[in-house]
């Protein structure tokens, strides 16, 4: 239980969903975890949960749309703990009206890109000065939306595809500084917060298409992010890893043939 022992880890967007799952596992593995987001009350509640389980955590405010708050987060953490060992860029936003290209306004496009791509870029830029001396690990949380085109979510998918390439550039440019950077693309991850909003029809579509027997859980992402933050993954950098239950591993007609009881036409 000490794969991240004594590491100082920042997990952005860790007041809900996947971020909480990552933060809990990081604390369980011995890291000092910085919980950050806009909701102070919820963030402090997550800290209490971690401490009651024997872990170490602290809350710090951060707004993904506010560059000053991101820079302050990195400086404050480095000042208090002397360094930043791991940065997990989990925080992201999606416009509820992000649809087809002709439906997306310039304002919506900019909002999604400012949060998902600019926010990730700026967080890394602000953290780098506190990693360059001893090195560190950066884990960007992408999305399976970047795996292919879709009928909606145009801006979100494009922004997450940008995170994929940003990951590779960071890995190349700072590998010689002992800084690694990888990206994890989650599939359908069901959390207590989003489950009431996921229609049963959508759940069935995913179950028909994934290779395993259930939807994803925050811990499914968290276990991989623990590995990428640990010294065990020293020789892995610049990688984009999709954790989606095998959704993107097969022909798009598999679900239909399976429902027909057939393997081919």
- pLDDT tens profile 165-221: 999 999 999 999 999 999 999 999 998 888 888 999 998 999 999 999 998 999 999
Q: What pairs with residue 241 in β-bridges? A: 184
Average pLDDT estimate for 240-254: 91
pTM here? 0.95
**pLDDT tens profile 19-56:** 999 999 999 999 999 999 999 999 999 999 999 999 99
In the sheet where 32-37 sits, what is the strand order? 56-61, 32-37, 8-12, 86-89, 136-141, 179-186, 240-243
Categorize the per-residue pLDDT at 112 as very low, low, confident or very high, splitting at 50, 70 and 90: very high
Active site residue 59: no
Q: Would you tell me the crossing angle of helices 17-28 and 218-229 to the nearest 10 degrees?
A: 50
pLDDT score of 133: 79
Mean pLDDT of 103-111: 95
Say if CB 69 and CB 62 are below 8 A apart: yes
- 255 pLDDT band (50/70/90 cuts)? confident
* pLDDT tens sequence across 212-239: 999 899 999 999 999 999 999 999 999 9
Exactly one of 26, 156, 174, 215 is catalytic; which is it? 156
Antiparallel, parallel or unpaired: β 56-61 and 240-243: unpaired
- C-alpha span between 153 and 71 (Å, rounded): 29
């Amino acid at each position: 239980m000490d794969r991240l022992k004594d590491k100082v880890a920042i997990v952005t967007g860790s007041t809900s969903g996947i971020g909480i799952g990552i933060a809990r596992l990081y604390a369980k593995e011995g890291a000092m975890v910085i919980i950050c987001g806009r909701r102070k009350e919820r963030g402090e509640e997550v800290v209490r949960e971690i401490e009651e389980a024997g872990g170490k955590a602290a809350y710090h405010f951060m707004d993904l749309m506010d560059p000053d708050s991101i820079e302050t987060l990195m400086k404050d953490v480095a000042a208090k703990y002397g360094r930043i060992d791991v940065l997990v860029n989990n925080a992201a936003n999606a416009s509820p009206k992000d649809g087809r290209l002709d439906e997306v306004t310039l304002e919506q496009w900019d909002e999604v890109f400012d949060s998902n791509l600019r926010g990730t870029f700026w967080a890394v830029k602000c953290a780098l000065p506190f990693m360059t001396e001893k090195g560190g690990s950066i884990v960007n949380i992408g999305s399976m939306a970047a795996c292919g085109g879709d009928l909606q979510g145009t801006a979100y998918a494009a922004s997450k595809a940008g995170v994929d390439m940003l990951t590779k550039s960071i890995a190349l440019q700072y590998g010689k500084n002992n800084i690694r950077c990888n990206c994890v693309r989650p599939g359908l991850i069901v959390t207590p917060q989003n489950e009431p909003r996921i229609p049963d029809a959508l759940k069935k579509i995913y179950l028909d298409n994934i290779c395993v027997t259930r939807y994803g859980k925050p811990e499914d992402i968290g276990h991989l992010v623990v590995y990428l933050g640990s010294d065990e993954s020293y020789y892995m950098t610049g990688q984009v890893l999709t954790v989606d239950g095998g959704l993107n591993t097969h022909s798009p007609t598999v679900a239909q043939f399976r429902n027909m009881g057939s393997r081919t036409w």
